[in-house]
Amino acid sequence: MSKNPLIKNLGVWGQRIENGLLVLILTSMILLASTQIFLRNFLSTGFTIGDELLRILVLWLAMLGALAASRDQRHIAIDALTRHLSPRLGMLAALFICVFVAVVCGFISHASFLFVRGAYIANESVLGGQPAWVFQAILPIGFGLMSWRYLTHTATRIRILLGKAGPDDSV
């Protein structure tokens, strides 16, 4: 773990905020969807923005979930080859994967920034007139943070390969 208490505390608080947002969004989605189903089936009505809001919440939940998975490196991985490698070659493969994912997430962050900027320029709206770019901003922010996280995972793996950190250390 990091020896700097400020960085450690920021990391802990960041993790709590991420987890709290995940719980809040998932709970909101369950309540909204259940309410929509009840209103439609029993009262023949519903919220006019309910379906659109659920789609936005799914986007946010997916991005925050992916961000949390990247934090703990608990993303989907295909390790059929890497488990047969020596520890050093396995660490080199993991280093390559971290660099690759950081670069891909960086490109996706840039592309999604252009997408959000286009929505801003076109003055697109959702939820009955709210600016769409505000809700879409999670895309470049989320992919940018994932890119940053994989860069820090890369730095950790380099430090381990150079013998300057143990396998349980983080940047």
The tens place of each residue's pLDDT in the chain, 171 residues long, gives: 456 777 778 878 888 999 999 999 999 999 999 999 999 999 999 888 999 999 999 999 999 999 999 887 777 666 666 777 887 888 888 889 899 999 999 999 999 999 999 999 999 999 999 999 999 999 999 999 999 999 999 998 899 888 876 656 554
- Read off the amino acid at residue 170: S
How high is the pLDDT of residue 57?
97
Q: What is the pTM of this model?
A: 0.85
- Domain residue ranges in the chain: 5-161
How high is the pLDDT of residue 171?
45
**What does the alpha-carbon distance between residue 36 and residue 39 come to, in Å, rounded to a whole number?**
5
How high is the pLDDT of residue 102?
95
Count Cα neighbours of 166 within 13 Å in the Cβ-side half-sphere: 4
Check if the beta carbon of residue 146 is closer than 8 Å to that of residue 112.
no
